[in-house]
Structure 1
């Protein structure tokens, strides 16, 4: 037993009112910290949104959306090429089918009646013919498809209650021809290249270079761009951005040629220069088409980011360049 002079050493319990006060003080501090965190989060979101809007206004594209879409396409395309080449035909048919549908729809919006159903059917058929029958199969299918689309439009005119003027019909036919020549003919070069021995590696290589062109032009144009390249066609494209795209494409071209294709370094310089020119030409061509049609984007297939054709405009002519270079190197 404790001695009387030691007293009781057990702590005296705090009054209930004190415990309640401490709990209220803790809750108040927790709420204040949470409110402060939420306020900081809202401010950061607002700052990010403001910076993104400024970049979009300056460059004409939503950068986060562009990166996300590019990564998604890269995963799908590269996976199909590496795992099983024939599966890439599904990817190519989808991309070209959507692309010709978008362009035909945009032309119809501008008053040029290009039949959409046969346009898509022909584009997909050319993809299959190119992979199975090579250049001859692709060319014959494309020519037959153009005749099919033209006859489709003429039948529509023949059964129309109100006959359009002959000038309008001729314009519709030539526009239908242009859709196939611009999207299908250039795009099918990717299929022809893929079907070749080690062709899938060439496809991956030139796509890397196209991405380098786009990235180099974006980075240098954003930071140093002052002199417009074609102000009437694409006001945001500058000569400084073009120089940056050439430099980036040469660097990536050398890397992919040496490591992926087993070619000497100077082949990468040639590939980089050619692809930088073709990719820029493709971008300007689509800008000219949209200006002629009086639209900002080919479609709204990718919400807030334009259409599929807006994303593959640089790839189309670059595919033809890469295919020709493959033939020169290997034959």
Structure 2
């Protein structure tokens, strides 16, 4: 046999650095799960999102443990379970109470442990609570809206809670931010925004995110929510800045912890936190915009 025929070729690495077929399959499965539960059974969506929050907390705590810091796992995980449900069923007051209670429990739990490093442990636990379940809970405040929580199924989409539509629009804008930013950045990106934090993000991609999010936000708010066009424009600007800030924040944390991905639970995507990073910062901004500008 010719010598060239016996050479084993190394597997090709996708240009994006990910397994694209796996990433697309997982992405579509998550899309069906999230949108299906959101539109037809909001309480199930709360449960699904709570699971994501708990897995995200576990990923972050595991990464922090690699630096020799032991996070008080039990009170932090209880807080991650309690905050989403409190926000959806009891509103902003319930979320605030759950945050204060879980933070106090974290401090008390670790203070009773004689092991050294209590201060770092408490700060890491409070950081996990504030970053993941607390910020994500603004999605549930938005979801309940002025009509309050929906416990049953919503089979009539003509009578859907406006809060559900707001959450759908927010998620669409987060996806638009990532998609348009990636496409424009890959084609035209030459000027990195923050090369030490995220070398692949460029100013050209950021401009693409702004343009793409605006194209999605204005028609969505006008036709789906019957709002003024400038509410959609403000929402697009807010979502792009918040989503980009969320990406940078997680990149900084991963760089400090010395990890590439928070985990490998989602093939082609990395960890759950690698999918939640933009949403965590986008949720409170979207809630504020809808709450304040939606009144005019």
Give the structure-2-normalised TM-score. 0.87
Q: Is residue 105 of structure 2 the alignment partner of residue 148 of structure 1?
A: yes
Structure 1 unmatched runs, 5+: 1-45
In structure 1, what is the equivalent of residue 3 of structure 2? none
Gaps of 5+ in 2: 1-8, 148-161
Cα distance in 1 for residues equivalent to 2:291 and 2:47: 24
**1:177 corresponding residue in structure 2:** 126
Deviation per residue, 1:214-250 (Å, 9 max, x gap): 0011101111111111111111111111111111111
Determine if contact 2:46/2:84 at 8 Å carries over to the other structure. Answer: yes
Secondary structure, aligned partner of 2:193: strand
Residues 143-191 of structure 1 show CA distances to partners (whole Å, capped at 9, x for unaligned) of 1101112222223x32xxxx42xxx321111111111111111100001
Distance 1:288 1:104 in 2: 16
The answer to whether the Cα contact below 8 Å between 2:174 and 2:279 also exists between their aligned partners in 1 is yes
Distance in 2 (CA, whole Å) between partners of 1:264 and 1:123 is 36
CA drift at 1:70: 2.5
Task: Tell me the distance in 2 between the aligned counterparts of 1:304 and 1:149.
Answer: 34
Q: Is the 8 A contact 1:55 1:63 kept in 2?
A: no
- The aligned length equals 272
Report 1:172-211 matches (<5 A): 172-196=121-145, 197=147, 198-211=162-175
Identify the residue that residue 306 of structure 1 maps to in structure 2. 270
Greater length-normalized contact order (CA 8 Å, ≥ 6 residues apart): 2
TM norm structure 1: 0.78
Q: Report the equivalent of 2:31.
A: 74
Instruction: Return the match for 1:137 from 81, 94, 100.
Output: 94
Aligned counterparts of 1:146 and 1:289: Cα–Cα separation in 2 = 21
Do 2:22 and 2:267's aligned partners in 1 also have CA atoms closer than 8 Å? no
Residues 14-93 of structure 1 mapped to structure 2, 5 A cutoff = 50=12, 53-57=13-17, 61-93=18-50
CA contact under 8 A between 1:146 and 1:177: conserved in structure 2? yes
SS at match of 1:313: helix
Contact 1:278 1:314 in 2 (8 A): yes
Could you tell me how far 1:304 is from its partner in structure 2? 4.7
Q: Which runs of 4+ in 1 moved over 6 A?
A: none
CA shift, 1:92, in A, is 1.7
Decide which of 248, 261, 270 is 2:212's aligned counterpart.
248
Aligned partner of residue 86 in structure 1, secondary structure: helix
Q: Which residue among 266, 282, 289 is the counterpart of 1:318?
A: 282
| Higher-Rg member (1/2) | 1
Aligned CA-pair RMSD:
1.8
2:250 to 280, 286, 301: 286
Higher helix proportion (structure 1 or 2): 1
Displacement after TM superposition at 1:330 (Å): 4.2
Aligned-pair CA distance for 1:66: 3.2
Aligned to 2:150: none
Q: CA deviation at 1:290?
A: 0.3
1:257 CA displacement: 0.8
Find the counterpart in structure 2 of residue 234 from structure 1.
198
Deviations 1:115-146 (A, max 9, x none): 22322221111111111111011111111101
